[in-house]
Amino acid sequence: MLNSKQRAYLRAMANSIDTVVMVGKGDLDEQVFKTADEAITARELIKGKVLEASSLSSREAADQIAENIGADVVQVIGRKFVLYKKNQKEPQIKLPK
């Protein structure tokens, strides 16, 4: 679980990263979960977007993906969301206490 200082730090980092997960009209399937899991394992912090054709809200998609891959939802704004999961083997992001 992230505290507010850690969330703020991750939100600032997320401003400069590209969107890697797209949720479209097919909604959430195994391919979306697999893509998110691979990306978050490599980067620890990923940004996703829910397209207008999707029947899910950004919050619903972020919560479902985070639950499936074991990540934390950092933020949801509009149609975009940010997820964080610490890489246990090779951590890249050092969070503030």
Q: What is the pLDDT of residues 55-81, one digit of tens each?
A: 999 999 999 999 999 999 999 999 999
Compute the distance between CA of residue 51 and CA of residue 36 in angstroms, rounded to an integer. 16
The answer to whether 48 and 32 have CB atoms below 8 angstroms apart is no
Using the predicted structure, report yes or no on whether residue 27 has a pLDDT greater than 80: no
The pLDDT value recorded for residue 25 is 86
Please, how many CA atoms are within 13 Å of residue 59, restricted to the half-sphere of its CB?
0
Find tokens 């998110």 and name the residue. 36
Architecture of domain 4-84: 2-Layer Sandwich (3.30)
Using the predicted structure, report yes or no on whether residue 17 has a pLDDT greater than 90: yes
The pLDDT value recorded for residue 14 is 95
**What's the Cα-to-Cα distance from 10 to each of 13, 31, 72, 88, rounded to whole Å?**
5, 25, 11, 17
Average pLDDT over residues 14-28: 91
pTM, whole model, 2 decimals?
Answer: 0.93
